[in-house]
């Protein structure tokens, strides 16, 4: 079993839709949770960074962490064609020595 | 530009050759990570430095891989006797204490 599971998609939505992206994990020691956006043949770009459980909002993006269910989510409001990319979740324990990534969900926002 | 930089951006080599990649992190970042990413997969952790000390290394990393960060600034990743299975994107990331990681553009390696 992989440490982090993420549906690979692809997920196709119309412009303006609310997008929900999710990851599950198995290691209860994970405390730090991140979401990255990656365009084709580019390095991942940090979008959201959260600690422990709860919600965090930044513009059109909201990250949620439910440690009791070992489940994290990223919501994108008013999605735009420029949001079309692969979204990666990542997580780490308290010492940041190692980060575990999901395999990524490919999102396509249609104009 | 004060982001993470990597050099070269692309490398084509023949099987059996040695290759070395360089990463320059964001200047104030004390943590540096190397990852490998293949098509359709997320980044796979290779190794981690805090300042100049290599504190974590993946068990999946064979002895052909070695990394250094001699003065706690830039880092190099060397692959000896390359194999076709080493073809991938090699990513470097840096962070400061408990903040999220910032990635470089990656070095794409093709082993022929």
Per-residue confidence band for B1, with pLDDT thresholds at 50, 70 and 90 = low
Look at A8 and B105 and tell me if their CB atoms are within 8 Å. no
> Looking at chain A, which runs of residues are DSSP E strands?
4-6, 11-14, 19-25, 32-38, 45-51, 54-58, 61-66, 71-76, 85-92, 99-101, 105-110
Q: Check CB contact of A34 with chain B, cutoff 8 Å.
A: yes
With an 8 Å Cβ cutoff, is A88 touching chain B? yes
In tens, the pLDDT along B9-56 reads: 999 999 999 999 999 999 989 999 999 999 999 999 999 999 999 999
Residues from chain A that touch B44, judged by Cβ atoms under 8 A, are 101
- Which chain B residues touch A98 with a CB distance below 8 Å? 45, 48, 56, 58
pLDDT recorded at residue B98: 67
Q: How far is CA A71 from CA A35, A88, A105, B90, in A?
A: 13, 14, 15, 28
Residue B2, pLDDT score = 77
Query: Is some CB atom of chain B closer than 8 A to the CB atom of A101?
Result: yes
Q: Do A101 and B42 touch (CB under 8 A)?
A: yes
Residues of A in contact with B97 (CB under 8 A): 96
Q: Tell me which residue in A8, A43, A51 faces B104 most closely, judged by beta carbons.
A: A43
Please, is A58 exposed, middle or buried when counting C-beta atoms within 10 Å of its C-beta (0-12, 13-18, 19+)? Answer: exposed
What's the mean pLDDT when you consider all of chain A? 94
Q: Report the C-alpha gap between A32 and A88 in whole angstroms.
A: 14
CB proximity A61 to B under 8 Å: no
Q: CB B42 to CB A90 under 8 A? A: yes
Q: Could B48 and A97 be called an inter-chain contact, meaning their C-beta atoms sit closer than 8 Å? A: yes
Q: How confident is the model at residue B71 (pLDDT cuts 50, 70, 90)?
A: confident
Total Cβ atoms within 10 A of residue A85: 21
Note whether A75 contacts B: Cβ–Cβ < 8 A: no
Contact B101 A46 (CB under 8 A): yes
Condensed to tens digits (0 to 9), the pLDDT of residues A74-87 reads 999 999 999 999 99
Q: Report DSSP state, residue A15.
A: T
């Amino acid at each position: 079993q992989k440490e982090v599971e993420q549906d690979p998609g692809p997920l196709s939505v119309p412009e303006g839709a609310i997008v929900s992206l999710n990851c599950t994990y198995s290691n209860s020691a994970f405390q730090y949770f991140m979401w990255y956006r990656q365009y084709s043949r580019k390095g991942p770009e940090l979008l959201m960074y959260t600690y422990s459980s709860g919600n965090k909002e930044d513009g059109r993006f909201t990250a949620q962490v439910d440690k009791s269910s070992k489940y994290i989510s990223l919501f994108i409001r008013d999605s735009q064609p420029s949001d079309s990319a692969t979204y990666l979740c990542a997580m780490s324990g308290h010492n940041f020595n190692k980060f575990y990534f999901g395999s990524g969900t490919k999102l396509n926002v249609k104009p | 530009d004060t982001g993470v930089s990597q050099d070269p951006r692309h490398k084509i080599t023949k099987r059996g050759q040695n290759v070395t990649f360089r990463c320059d992190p964001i200047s104030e970042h004390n943590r540096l990570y190397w990852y490998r990413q293949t098509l359709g997969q997320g980044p796979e952790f290779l190794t981690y430095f805090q300042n100049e000390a290599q504190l974590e290394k993946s068990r999946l990393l064979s002895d052909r891989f070695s990394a250094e960060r001699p003065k706690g600034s830039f880092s190099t990743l060397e692959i000896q006797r390359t194999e076709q299975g080493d073809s991938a994107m090699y990513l470097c990331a840096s962070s400061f204490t408990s903040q999220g990681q910032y990635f470089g553009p990656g070095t794409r390696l093709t082993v022929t």
